[in-house]
Amino acid sequence: MITTVLSARDVAHAASAVCAVLAVREVVERRRVASRARTVLGGGASGLPGTPGGRVVWREVAARWWAVARGRRAWLCLPVAGVLAVLGESPLPLVAGAVAVPVVGRRLREAERRKEREARAERVVALCGAVVGELRAGWQPAQALSYAACGTGALGGEEAAVLAAARFGGDVPEALRRAAAQDGADGLAGMAACWQVAVDGGAGLAAGLDRLEAALRDHREQRELLRAELAGAWATVAVLAVLPLAGVALGAALGADPLRVLLHTPAGLGCLVVGGALEGAGLWWAARIVRGGERA
């Protein structure tokens, strides 16, 4: 019986080949979809995106590639791990890269959700200002809300329900409260309260929404000020995360071959496991402290 032992270089080459095949498949699929769209829309152009006749516009090609890479940024851990596996002649970096993909992906998704939440909050503030402007221009509340909210995205998935309630005499405050349950749309609950007070008590809706807009803007400014004050703490966390990598790079520059020591000796493996655990715990604790300040 012949036993074949795969080296880290072979594993890295196999992983690189798989990544290349997946990239080619993605390009072919996107070109097929784009060709079908051009056929359906009557463009009739062939080739890559560009001017009529298929002339390539490299800016659009780069934008498409950036969109693809942006949606799969977590998978960039694998090529980096492959390079480290080849340099260190060990499959351990590939295992670490595979473990890092879901962790990094979750962090990136959390960042995207945070950006979307902040963008929706901004749209809610703009919606309050737009409704106030329409009310002062002489529109009725239902008409003002329908005109100001149409297509803005401030109401999210509940836009159809809110607009239907406004146009056909439904319960607008209740529809706004349901829309406020979405992430980042808390300001719609204040709009619902202003609407309820205006309907039941006859108070001016424009004045209430104007005060609500000012309160939401003040809250946003306070959040941005706090974020600016915590920027130094986040920079410290980033520096702490990069320091071990800088130490390994410095050792390699001095000729100490730290990858061989860390990946091929018992003492190095022990230091790698203990140091990685301490590094992860320190980053988690520091990020927890900073996020606690943000929530406060």
pLDDT of residue 42: 47
In a domain, 44, yes or no: yes
Count of structural domains, the chain: 3
Checking 125-130 for CB contacts under 8 A at 24+ apart, the result is 125/187, 125/213, 125/216, 125/217, 125/220, 126/152, 126/154, 127/152, 127/154, 127/155, 127/191, 128/187, 128/191, 128/209, 128/210, 128/212, 128/213, 128/216, 129/213
At 241, give phi and psi (nearest 5°). Answer: -70, -30
In a domain, 139, yes or no: yes
With a cut of 70, list the residues of the chain below it in pLDDT. 1-71, 151, 201-203, 294-296
pLDDT of residue 47: 44
pLDDT of residue 53: 44
Is 20 in the same domain as 102? yes
Its pTM stands at: 0.65
pLDDT in tens, 125-145: 888 888 888 888 888 888 888
At 55, give phi and psi (nearest 5°). Answer: -65, 135
Is 110 in the same domain as 13? yes
Is 34 in the same domain as 74? yes
pLDDT of residue 5: 44
pLDDT of residue 8: 52
pLDDT in tens, 229-257: 888 888 888 888 888 888 888 888 888 88
In a domain, 165, yes or no: yes
In a domain, 174, yes or no: yes
- 203 lies in which domain range? 119-224
Residue type, 287: A
Of 72, 97, 74, the C-alpha closest to 12 is 97
How far is the C-alpha of 164 from the C-alpha of 170, rounded, in Å?
Answer: 7
- The contacts of residue 132 (CB under 8 Å, 6+ apart) are 206, 209, 210, 213
Question: Where among 193, 224, 255 does a domain terminate?
Answer: 224
Of 150, 161, 101, the C-alpha closest to 127 is 150
Using alpha carbons only, give the angle 219, 285, 94 rounded to the nearest 5 degrees: 115
In a domain, 60, yes or no: yes
Question: Where among 191, 224, 257 does a domain terminate?
Answer: 224
Question: Where among 202, 224, 246 does a domain terminate?
Answer: 224
Is 186 in the same domain as 240? no
Burial class (CB in 10 A: 0-12, 13-18, 19+), 266: exposed
In a domain, 62, yes or no: yes
Considering Cα of 178, then 179, then 184, then 189, what sign does the dihedral take? Answer: negative
Q: What is the DSSP string of 217-274?
A: HHHHHHHHHHHHHTHHHHHHHHHHHHHHHHHHHHHHHTT--HHHHHHHSHHHHHHHHH
Is 25 in the same domain as 100? yes
Of 94, 93, 43, 138, the C-alpha closest to 260 is 93
In a domain, 1, yes or no: no
pLDDT of residue 197: 85
Q: What is the mean pLDDT of the chain?
A: 77
CB of 86 closer than 8 Å to CB of 8 = yes
Is 23 in the same domain as 94? yes
